[in-house]
Chain A
Amino acid sequence: MLVTEQEQLKAELQELATRHGRRRDALLPMVQEVQRRHGHVSSYAMQVIADLLDIHPVEVHSVVSFYSFLSARPLGRFVIRVCRTISCDMAGKDRVARQLENDLKIKFGETTPDGQFTLEWANCLGMCDQGPAILVNEQVFTGVTPEQVHGILEQCRRRFSAHALAQTAEHAV
């Protein structure tokens, strides 16, 4: 990581600590925000958060490693979580999962080489009456069929291009 990137992250974390209060109970909201923005909570981020909250970095690591939505290694821009619990299982989640693997050319737990997609299993997403359900970042899809998988991935790709385009335009101004 470049020094400037580190400084930027540090400033960001300081701002977060000010917003949430420099107390232990601010830890989860802070790491959740870092995860959302950066796709993971790096060792460097853990160290800075620990300093800000006056706790040992191992404490931060132990929290990050406990929760399945937090990750110390970088996840893709789009994290696809497939519900594997019983009702979605009975509704045919295996075929949806297989098609995701086929279209993304990765296995569960892996990230595409371009850093766009990560495939993960999730336990009950609470969509049991309309499975199979998948969660793509903060958006839920229900009644997913293997045939629909391609369209869902394309929708993510388009959203990313639109976002990248907007950023380029912003820089140009």
Chain B
Amino acid sequence: MISSRRGNFTFNGIAPEAGLKAALQKGRAGVIGELSASGLKGRGGAGFPTGVKWNLAAAAKSDVKYVVCNADEGEPGTFKDRVILSDFAPLVFEGMTIGGWAIGAKKGVLYLRGEYIYLRPHLEKVLAERRKQNLLGTKILGKDGFDFDIGIRMGSGAYVCGEETALIESLEGHRGEPRNRPPFPVDTGFQNKPTIVNNVETLTWAACILSKGAAWFKKIGTDKSAGLKLYSVSGDCTRPGVYEFPLGITVAKLLGEVGGENAKAVQVGGASGRCVPASEFARTLAFEDVPTGGSIIVFGPQRDMLRVARNFMDFFVEESCGQCTPCREGNVKLLEGLELLEEGRCSMRYLRELCALGETMAVASKCGLGQSSPTAFLSIVQHFQDELMGRMHGR
């Protein structure tokens, strides 16, 4: 395994524990105020404002609360959290500790996907060092009444557990089947206690923001998408890897940086994201335009977009938890449609019916998995219909 890091990372220049010390000085409300002012939104893909989430959990009345770090990075094409956990683990745990301080939690859990089990020894070592330095444990940094510790729990190969309520179900020893929301975890989370579930990268930025100040973060990016973001870049480009860019960067600019200028399309946001064709490379990667958890998959001129769509649908058929009908049955129907296209036996009328089904799945599915699983299918059909129809295979 070689390092995936490309270019400079802000995380490199952050003084150890500067964020945690600032957080203790600012007080709980001060921390949440700083995060809200920074405009930080969830970096896992959903983009929920972090300050709002923490504020709700802080306001919830309970003696027991939890901080959960979502390290179940399973979105195809995403590997930035693996890099953060390998290279910047202390900053992740610092972010979790700041979260614990802000909402009044004593316990944190890092839910690590089973595929990353080889990272666990390193993470346990970092935790042990932090306990020794009194950055975890009781009376952290001498602060009376501030007790917090972190444990690691493993996933076992289930993409859906990246959905926050499925993750909580899994932590509680159940199948990873998402819950109805509301109630939200900030109110009724792990063991029915108020819980913040944040992506690895979100927590790491939270630590940076406390260290460098909300104003620094807010002035980067766009109005609605503040700050920096890590992008996991793979596929047909000469320099794949993890990059740090501001939000609001255009697809074209990013392709230039990674050596993917001749791409015919880019999948933004992984299997659950959308396919952006070359004609739309002027669009920006931002919550208000093309949102992303950071997965960028580049498709060169020779790629068969039907094979791409097929790969994504195989993925969703396999990873749907099977709980709700639109997702369980809908993904199978879309996959069968792609098989018809492969065989050159799909009528335009049927393809349109499948697109209507996809739109139904997006509104009727219970969780984000089913709501977003038709996105890739729909955007590939929309932009590459000509490439998909009338195949001569098997004739």
Contacts and interface: CB of A to CB of B under 8 A. Distances in A.
B157 A86 contact: no
Given A28-B173, A62-B175, A87-B297, A124 B234 contact: no
A96 to B, nearest CB: 16
A28 B115 contact: no
A85 interface: yes
Interface string B157-183: 111000000000011111110000000
Report the contact-size class of chain B (Cβ under 8 Å from the partner).
Answer: 35 or more
Given A129-B4, A130-B2, A26 B173 contact: yes
B156 A140 contact: no
A86 B308 contact: yes
A68 B153 contact: no
Contact of A90 (B82, B174, B235, B242): B235
Contact of B157 (A68, A127, A129, A131): A68
A28 B77 contact: no
Interface stretch (B18-26, B50-58, B98-106, B311-319): B311-319
Nearest to A133: B1
B311 A68 contact: no
A126 B79 contact: yes
Nearest to A35: B156
B76 A140 contact: no
Interface string A69-82: 11000000000000
Contacts of B82: 126
Interface string A26-55: 111100100000000000000000000100
B234 A87 contact: yes
B241 interface: yes
A67 B73 CA distance: 15
B233 A85 contact: no
Nearest to B154: A32
Interface string B126-158: 000000000000000000000000000111111
A126 B242 CA distance: 12
Interface in A107-130: 122-130
A28 to B, nearest CB: 5
Contact of B79 (A69, A123, A127): A127
B371 interface: no
Given A28-B170, A66-B158, A129 B232 contact: yes
A28 B4 contact: no
B contact face: mostly helix, strand, loop, or mixed:
mixed
Contacts of A25: 171-173, 191
B358 to A, nearest CB: 19
B234 A128 contact: yes
A86 B297 contact: yes
B240 A129 contact: yes
**Max chain B C-beta neighbours (<10 A), residue from A26, A67, A70:** A67
Contacts of B292: none
A24 B271 CA distance: 33
Contacts of B74: 123-124, 126
Contacts of A23: 173
Contact of A135 (B115, B236, B303, B318): B115
A89 B303 CA distance: 11
Interface in A126-166: 126-131, 135, 138-140, 142
Nearest to B118: A138
A148 B172 CA distance: 41
A105 to B, nearest CB: 25
Contact of B234 (A26, A131, A140): A131
Contacts of B172: 24-25
B75 A124 contact: yes
Contact of B76 (A70, A87, A138): A87
A63 interface: yes
Interface in B289-310: 297, 303, 307-308
A63 B173 contact: yes
Nearest to A86: B311
Contacts of B174: 24, 63
Contact of B116 (A24, A63, A126, A128): A126
12 contacts: A67-B156, A85-B77, A86-B312, A87-B297, A122-B115, A123-B76, A123-B315, A124-B76, A124-B315, A126-B115, A128-B240, A129-B79
The 9 closest A-B pairs by CB, nearest first: A27-B173, A67-B156, A128-B234, A129-B240, A68-B157, A69-B157, A66-B175, A87-B234, A69-B156
